[in-house]
Amino acid sequence: MQCPFKNLLYKEYLHPLVAEYIKDVLELHCFTDENDNLCSYSLSDIENIEPEKVIKENCKSKKCNDLLIYSYKKVTIEQLSALDDVSTVYSKIGYNELDMLNDTIEFLESDECKSLQTSGNFKEKN
């Protein structure tokens, strides 16, 4: 007899919109800069850096910035809605998250962010 809980999770995770979202999130953590170093955003979970600082650090590399913009623009309300149906997701995802992504995209495309760009993604010294 197969475990019904296991099959239910597989069905939820294999929903095309959920699978696409998970794939994109995993790729997001593997982005590299012009020097083949992980982008600041990719390191954020490992180094436990504040989100606002990570975004500004990410601006320093045009490649990292472009990859993050592309990745964020791929997120749709349909994907977020499909995630709400996954039983292991404990908080509801909605328009607020999409608004936050759009606000971040706006900053990433701003002159302020572009002015931080260098030839690579270098860390600030504290």
- Greatest CA separation for the chain: 60
pLDDT at 70 (0 to 100): 93
DSSP 8-state symbol, 37: P
Q: Is residue 84 part of a domain?
A: yes
Domain limits for position 58: 4-114
Q: Is residue 102 part of a domain?
A: yes
Q: Is residue 94 part of a domain?
A: yes
pLDDT at 122 (0 to 100): 46
Q: Is residue 125 part of a domain?
A: no
pLDDT at 126 (0 to 100): 38
pLDDT at 121 (0 to 100): 41
Q: How far is CA 18 from CA 61, 80, 94, 112, 120, in A?
A: 29, 8, 14, 33, 33
Measure the CA–CA gap between 4 and 97, rounded to whole angstroms: 32
Q: Is residue 126 part of a domain?
A: no
Could you report the average pLDDT of every consecutive run of 10 residues in the chain (126 residues)? 58 74 85 93 83 88 95 82 67 71 94 82 43
Whole-structure pTM over 0.75, yes or no? Answer: no
Q: Is residue 124 part of a domain?
A: no
Q: Is residue 101 part of a domain?
A: yes
Q: Is residue 123 part of a domain?
A: no
Question: Encoding tokens for residue 116?
Answer: 């931080």
SS3 64: helix
- Domain count along the chain: 1
